Amino acid sequence: MSNPKNKHKSNTKGKWYCTDPDDEDGEGCIACSVCYSGAPDFFASDDHGNAYVYKQPTTDEEIELCQEQLELCPVNSIGRDAPEE
C-alpha cells in the first residue's frame, strides 16, 4: 500500500497521488512507465521517469482507468486518499 506521507512533490492537489521514488517503505516509484503509458491523461513522469499525478480523475470512467493503474503498479506507488466522512 502506498504511503501518503511520501507523496511525489509534483502531484497535483487531490485524492490521487504517486509516491516519491525515495519512499522509505520501499514502495516508491521505480519508473516502470505502467501508469503514464496506460493513463497518460492523468499520470506523467518527472525528469527521472518517476510518475506523478498531474490531473485528478473526475468521472466514473476516469476513476476506473486510474484505479486500473493503481492495481497494475508493481510497487504500489499509486495511492488514493480515503474519502472524508
Q: For residue range 38-55, list pLDDT tens digits in order.
A: 999 999 999 999 999 999
Taking phi first (over 0 means left), then psi (-120 to 50 degrees means alpha), and beta for anything else, what does residue 84 get? beta
The pLDDT > 70 percentage for the chain reads: 92
> What is this structure's pTM?
0.90
Q: Which of 16, 17, 27 is nearest to 8 (CA)?
A: 17
Is residue 2 a contact partner of residue 77, using CB atoms and an 8 Å limit? yes
Instruction: Look at the alpha carbons of 20, 74, 65, 80 in this order and tell me if their dihedral is positive or negative.
Output: negative
Q: What architecture (CATH level 2) is domain 7-77?
A: 2-Layer Sandwich (3.30)
Residue 26 has pLDDT above 80, yes or no: no
Angstrom distances, CA of residue 32 to CA of 2, 27, 43, 57, 84: 16, 13, 12, 21, 31
